[in-house]
Copies of this chain bind each other. A is one copy, B any other.
Amino acid sequence: MTDNENNNRWVKNVKLARPSFKDNVADTDRLLRVLKTELGTERIGIDLEMIRALPKILREAGYQVRCTYFQRFSDVVLTDVKDISESSIPVGLAVDLGTTRYVLRLVNLLNGEILGEVAGDNPQISLGVDILTRIHYADQTGGTSDLQRLIIEGINESIKAVCSSANCDSSRIYNITLAGNTAMTHFFLGLPTHWMIRDPYIPTLNTPDLYRASELGLQVPVQARIMCFPNVGSYFGGDLFAGILSSGMQRKKEVSLLVDVGTNAEVVLGCQDWFIVCAGAAGPALEEGVSEIGKQARPGIIDQVTIDSETLEVHVHTLGDLLPEGICGSGVIDLAAELFKNGLLDIRGKFVLERYPERFHEIEGVLSFVVVPASESGTGEDLVIGQPEIDSLIRSKAAMFTILETLITSVGLTFDDLSAFYVAGTFGNFINPKSAIQIGMLPDLPLEYYCPLGNSSLAGATLILQQPEAINELGRVHSRVTYLELNVNQEFMNRFSAAKFLPHTEPSRFPSVTMS
């Protein structure tokens, strides 16, 4: 009856029996009858707009058509029907919606090929740099719709750009996926966020349906559907579910860990049968703001640091090999690890001035280490890191380790039970695991266990467009997730205190760490 080369795609070629007196079922029912068998489903939704066009399409196509569909849970929807000989390809759009940036990707739904990609600044920044400010803005009259309008406009512009770059028409976008954190997903859907930031932190919606993207204002065909990744709470959103999918940890018998570090650290522990997740404040020291010289990664920013153990000379690597102007999170971790390894930081994280006096400044009672002297910097001034910044980093790394330890202990496991440690996001791409272990931020696992995932949110959103079975995996993961509320109790504080040393009060837990 059917002839499908693309069995694992969102596209099915079907051949219908021609109508006759013996088989005079209606056009729509005739098509759905075959598709229901093909897809093994009881019910397939089809918009009235498509039904209206169907009699003509079926007859002109000689009852052989190419159907594009999309699915979420048991909700299967037809998103396009064309003559089987139609030459233009059906296209999917993956959206990674971040707080500061978003990325769009076009995917060929016939073969999963990536056709183009564009990124843009989230225009909601004009109403608030961070999530909290935007949530307060949303509480004003019309605030929620302002925020929604801005991001929709931005994405619409980028749809034009990515379509133009891929030489594709936006009228061929039928299936859309969107991965964002809980707040971004709420803003995108125009949902209230007021209660997300108030005890006990309740989002409006965890499990979005398939919606008509055109209804949200996206300039795509009226029948195109958008699948937004689900949340599990205000602090664990769809971007993390996309990350899980892209890691593949949901297919493994063995237990893995996934960490995504931004403003918060979100952590996932699990395997094919179960998942436990949590989120906690851990990131500030790892991003912009950690020090005067702390910056987000961009050309001229130090991302790697080594210190010669003989001469104590500092060697830095900058992005783009430019003169150094600042240092990003991964650079700060490298720096702290090297300072500690070479005896310039003690186990409490305090500078050891006497080890290399000429490299230290003391300004207004604050002791600072000169990373790059003015003569070698791109700013014409010394690039320094002060004791307060190091203290802040120590708190951050201690928080991170404590979160990991609390999570893994909660299920009666230890780090030795892990088979892989996925690190998502920019942090995952740049961080040197060896340095992170050196300062006791990440557990002392063999280095090959650490896998950077890159933009796992975008990768997960892309995966759904490439592999229909991924949507079922997503459903399984979401239904198996337990959210661990990080109670900051005495036990947590004890662990946190123990983790505030370099690498830890129990160095035996970090056997690979070199200490001078």
Binding site for B on A (CB under 8 A): 19-22, 24-30, 32, 42-43, 45-46, 48, 51-52, 54-56, 59, 73-75, 144, 189-192, 194-195, 200-207, 209, 211, 215-216, 231, 233-234, 483, 485
Q: In whole angstroms, what is the CA distance A234 to B29 when docked?
A: 13
CA distance A144 to B51 in the complex (A): 13
Cβ contact within 8 Å between B202 and A43: no
What chain B residues lie within 8 Å of A46 (beta carbons)? 209
Is A189's CB under 8 angstroms from B48's CB?
Answer: yes
CB A196 to nearest CB in B, in angstroms, measures: 9
A51 is contacted by which of B21, B194, B202, B205 (Cβ under 8 Å)? Answer: B205
Whether A42 pairs with B211 at a CB distance below 8 angstroms is: no
With A51-B191, A55-B194, A55-B204 already in contact, 14 other A-B pairs whose C-beta atoms are closer than 8 Å: A19-B202, A22-B485, A24-B483, A26-B233, A27-B195, A27-B202, A27-B205, A43-B74, A48-B215, A51-B204, A52-B144, A52-B191, A55-B202, A59-B195
Give min CB distance, A312 to chain B, whole Å: 49
Q: Separation in Å of the A440 CB from the closest CB of chain B?
A: 29
| Chain B residues near A28 (CB-CB < 8 A) | 204-207
Q: Does A200 lie within 8 Å of B74, measured CB to CB?
A: no
A234 to B201, CA, bound (A): 55
Cα–Cα distance between A235 and B312 once the two chains are bound (Å): 93
Residue with the greatest number of chain B CB neighbours at <10 A, chosen from A27, A54, A189, A201: A27
List chain B residues, Cβ under 8 A from A231. Answer: 26
Contact across chains for A55 and B25 when beta carbons are under 8 A apart: no
**A55, A195, A211, A234 — most chain B CB neighbours (10 Å):** A55
Known contacts A19-B202, A43-B74; is-contact A192 B25 (Cβ 8 Å):
no
Q: For A48, what are the chain B residues with a Cβ–Cβ distance below 8 Å?
A: 189-191, 211, 215-216
A44 to chain B, nearest CB (A): 10
Asked if residues B26 and A203 are in contact (CB atoms below 8 Å), the reply is yes
**CB of A308, distance to nearest CB on chain B (Å):** 50
List 11 contacting pairs A-B, 8 Å CB cutoff, sorted by A. A22-B485, A25-B202, A25-B233, A28-B204, A28-B207, A43-B73, A46-B209, A52-B144, A52-B190, A55-B192, A59-B195
Contacts of A51 in B (CB 8 A): 189, 191, 204-205
A134 to chain B minimum Cβ distance, whole angstroms, is 17
CA of A490 to CA of B481 in the docked complex: distance in angstroms? 69
Q: How far is B26's CA from A231's CA once the two chains are assembled, in angstroms? A: 9
Which 7 A-B pairs give the minimum distances between C-beta atoms?
A26-B206, A26-B203, A28-B205, A29-B206, A19-B202, A21-B200, A55-B192
Q: Is the CB of B201 within 8 A of A74?
A: no
Q: Assembly of this chain: how many copies?
A: 2
Q: Which of B20, B195, B200, B234 contacts A55 (CB 8 A)?
A: B195
- Tell me the bound Cα distance from A226 to B24 in angstroms: 26
- From residue A61, how far is it (CB to closest CB) to chain B in Å? 15
- The residue that A204 contacts in the complex, of B27, B201, B209, with Cβ under 8 A, is B27
Please tell me which one of the listed residues B55, B203, B483 contacts residue A27 in the complex, with CB atoms under 8 A apart: B203
Contact A24 B74 (CB under 8 A): no
The answer to whether A29 touches B205, judged by C-beta atoms less than 8 angstroms apart, is yes
- Residues of B contacting A42 in the complex (Cβ-Cβ under 8 angstroms): 73-74
Q: Report the bound CA distance from A382 to B486 in whole Å.
A: 96
Separation of A273 and B304 alpha carbons in the complex (Å) = 76
List chain B residues, Cβ under 8 A from A25. 202, 206, 233
Q: Which residues of the other chain, B, contact A20 by a CB distance below 8 angstroms?
A: 200
Query: What's the Cα separation between A51 and B185 when bound, in Å?
Result: 13
Residue of B nearest to A485 (CB): B21
Residues of B contacting A52 with CB < 8 Å?
Answer: 144, 190-192, 204
Please measure, in the bound complex, the distance between the C-alpha atom of A205 and the C-alpha atom of B52, giving whole angstroms.
9
Cα of A380 to Cα of B24 in the assembled complex, Å: 52
- Chain B residues near A75 (CB-CB < 8 A): 43, 45
B residues less than 8 Å from A56 (CB atoms): 192
Q: Are A233 and B24 in contact (CB under 8 A)?
A: yes
Residues of B within 8 A of A24 (CB): 200-202, 233-234, 483, 485
Q: How far is the CA of A483 from the CA of B203 in the complex (A)?
A: 51
- In the assembled complex, the Cα of A389 lies from the Cα of B203 at a distance in Å of 73
Q: Bound state CA distance, A205 and B45, in angstroms?
A: 13
A152 CB to closest chain B CB (Å) equals 13
Rounded to whole Å, the gap between the CB of A240 and the closest CB of chain B is: 15
CA of A209 to CA of B44 in the docked complex: distance in angstroms? 10
The chain B residue with its CB closest to the CB of A23 is: B200
Q: Shortest beta-carbon distance, A485 to chain B, in Å?
A: 5
**Which chain B residues border A59 with CB–CB below 8 Å?**
195
CB-defined contacts of A203 to chain B, threshold 8 Å: 26-27
Chain B: which residue is nearest A73 at the CB level?
B43
Instruction: Determine the distance from Cα of A25 to Cα of B55 in the docked complex, in whole angstroms.
Output: 45
